[in-house]
Chains A and B, each alone.
Chain A
Amino acid sequence: MDNTKKTILIVEDEKSLRGALVDFLLAKNFIPIEAKNGREGVQIALSKHPDLILLDIIMPEMDGMASLKKIREDSWGEKVPVIILTNLSASKEQLIDYKIPSRPTYYLIKSDWKLYDIVKKIESILENK
């Protein structure tokens, strides 16, 4: 598929992981945007309206779950697809949003997912949007 001009916001505090995601997404013709923490992530999301958000959970300043809550409060943000990309295992509270179909939220464990498969997932979500 043609990924050109599809913007992906990467909210991740770990530089090395962010770097790998940026490089791989660029190689697959996406336009990656970076945010170093949750607060930055919310700001950029609400101002630049990316096509999809990759969201880490444990971050300084504002964590991923709080960020997601802020994003979902926005009328645009309510419907944006979000992939929670974390190394935490999900607990009940974290999965509440996950169950609401109008708020497309996915949940992937970083260490279990190849970059290749993450991009496949992103493509399939964007295709069905």
Chain B
Amino acid sequence: MDKKTIFSTSNDTIFKLKILAEEKESVRRKLVVTANMLSLKAKQLAATAKEKENVRRKLLITAEKLKKSRETLEKKVLERTKSLEMARAKEEAILLSIGDGLIATDKIGKIILMNKTAEKLLERKSTDVVGKVFYKTISLEDERGVVIPLEKDPVSIALHTNTTVATNTTDPIYYTRKNKTKIPLAIMVTPVILNKKVIGTIKVFRDITNERQIDKAKTEFVSLASHQLRTPLSTVNWYAEMLLAGDVGELNPKQQKYLEEVYHSNQRMVELVNALLDVSRLELGTFTMEPKPTDITELTQNVIDEQRPQINTKVINFSFSSEKIPLINADPKLLRMVVQNILSNAVKYTPKKGKIRMSISLKDKKNVLLKVTDTGYGIPKNQHSKIFLKLFRADNVRDKDTDGTGLGLYIVKSIVENSGGKIWFESPKENRGTKFFVSFPVNGMIKKLS
């Protein structure tokens, strides 16, 4: 090839090479740009990845935390449930283990709980009585074995009156077990109140056989002691009587007076002993009651005649009226004690020139009402509830009449109630008098021999 050709060829090639180089350069540039972009993207991706990793880590931590707190919560709930169960079991154990019998009812009287002592006392299984109506399941009786009617049942009284009802040891309620043994019970029923509403009752009771025996022994002792006391009292009575009658010679006036004091005091002692014996007979249930048709008007007139001297001494304005009363079936000896006590109290506790009104009427066809109104000292209001208690004497009369025994009204009430009658009084204010009322069923007392 010629030089020119070579040259031109070389020029051409150079040119071509130049272009190629330029192209290459451009490609390289582009590549650089791309590389740069890629590098940027890579950086961005790396950053995102890092962020994601962070989030993931955080999530993991949170999850861990959640798991932990859930576990703690579960543990706590478990613990709380356990302690609640323990508390409940403890409460129930306390209730069930109480040394007295315990029965809880709901507001309609259905038994919801009965403790172990109650099970033992009544010889009934808790499972047999729970869910049943108390009144129909465990029936109570009075001393004579008569089932206590629903309206007098302590549980129903507590439910209806919203008050605590308690029986006492002297007037127990009885329960007869399946094997026919009878146990005396002292019962206290308290209404259970929630948000001011009665939601049920709690009945606590115990066997008072021992107390009853002790009480009986005490009464028997009083009876025995009283009988023994009567012997020396009779001796004093009889010898004083002979001396006072001048059987062994005339007494001078001073001797006469002193001996009268002795005799009078001895009489008081005899009366006290007699009253104590009446009380012990009433309490032992050995009082004989022999009812027969009795004219209460005539009997009352006799009592009035007997007390006429005292009525006259005190210049008391006294009147007695009586409707026509049929013969009532009563033990005249006991009825007499009642009338005597009520009238002598009125006479004793009415000042001179006072007024006493006595009347007998037919309250309805079934009951006779004896009413004694006086204008005497009255009974202090705060002692109204105690006036029929044994040996109680009201403050305002204790120094006015020192002879009283505090047994009269106790005896009267026992007799009246044993005869199916009622006794009550009104005394609105001190020194404004007292009204005593005694109502007796015409059919009267039930025969009872010791």
Contact = CB atoms under 8 A, between A and B. Distances in A.
B195 interface: no
B227 interface: yes
11 contacts: A14-B231, A17-B231, A23-B242, A23-B247, A87-B234, A89-B277, A91-B288, A109-B230, A112-B274, A114-B237, A115-B241
B270 A115 contact: no
A4 interface: no
A92 B288 contact: yes
A69 B239 CA distance: 31
Interface in B76-123: none
Given A111-B270, A114-B241, A116-B241, A87 B230 contact: yes
A92 B286 CA distance: 10
Interface string A71-112: 000000000000000011101100000000000000001111
Given A17-B238, A112-B270, 16 more contacts: A14-B235, A20-B235, A23-B242, A87-B231, A89-B227, A89-B281, A92-B449, A110-B234, A111-B233, A111-B234, A111-B237, A111-B273, A112-B274, A114-B238, A115-B242, A116-B245
A16 interface: yes
A24 B288 contact: no
Given A17-B238, A24-B238, A92-B449, A110 B247 contact: no
A48 to B, nearest CB: 24
A89 B286 CA distance: 10
A27 B243 CA distance: 13
Interface in B280-298: 281, 286, 288
A115 B238 contact: yes
A93 to B, nearest CB: 9
Contacts of B288: 91-92
A116 B247 CA distance: 11
B247 A24 contact: yes
A34 to B, nearest CB: 15
B450 interface: yes
Main secondary structure of the interface of B (DSSP, over half): helix
Nearest to A56: B231
B227 A87 contact: yes
A16 B234 CA distance: 10
B245 to A, nearest CB: 7
Number of chain B interface residues as a range: 20 to 34
Contacts of B238: 17, 20-21, 24, 114-115
B239 A20 contact: yes
A111 B230 contact: yes
Contacts of A89: 227, 277, 281
Interface string A5-25: 000000000101100110110
Residue in A88, A111, A112 with the greatest tally of chain B CB atoms within 10 Å: A111
A115 B247 CA distance: 12
Contacts of A16: 235, 239
Given A89-B277, A112-B274, A17 B242 contact: no
Given A27-B247, A111-B273, A91 B450 contact: yes
Nearest to B286: A91
B227 A17 contact: no
Contacts of A24: 238, 242, 247
Contact of A88 (B227, B239, B286): B227
B449 A110 contact: no
A118 to B, nearest CB: 9
B394 to A, nearest CB: 28
Contacts of A110: 230-231, 234
A112 B277 CA distance: 13
Contacts of B234: 17, 87, 110-111
Interface string B174-193: 00000000000000000000
Interface in A2-53: 14, 16-17, 20-21, 23-24, 27
Contacts of B227: 87-89
Nearest to A117: B241
Contacts of A88: 227
A92 B239 CA distance: 32
A114 to B, nearest CB: 6
Give the top 6 A-B pairs by smallest Cβ distance, nearest first: A87-B230, A20-B238, A110-B234, A111-B230, A16-B235, A111-B234
A27 B245 CA distance: 12
B259 to A, nearest CB: 14
A115 B449 CA distance: 30
Contacts of B286: 91
A112 to B, nearest CB: 7
A11 to B, nearest CB: 15
Contacts of A23: 242, 247
A114 B266 CA distance: 12
Residue in B237, B274, B288, B450 with the greatest tally of chain A CB atoms within 10 Å: B237
Interface in B235-287: 235, 237-239, 241-242, 245, 247, 270, 273-274, 277, 281, 286
A14 to B, nearest CB: 6
A112 B242 CA distance: 15
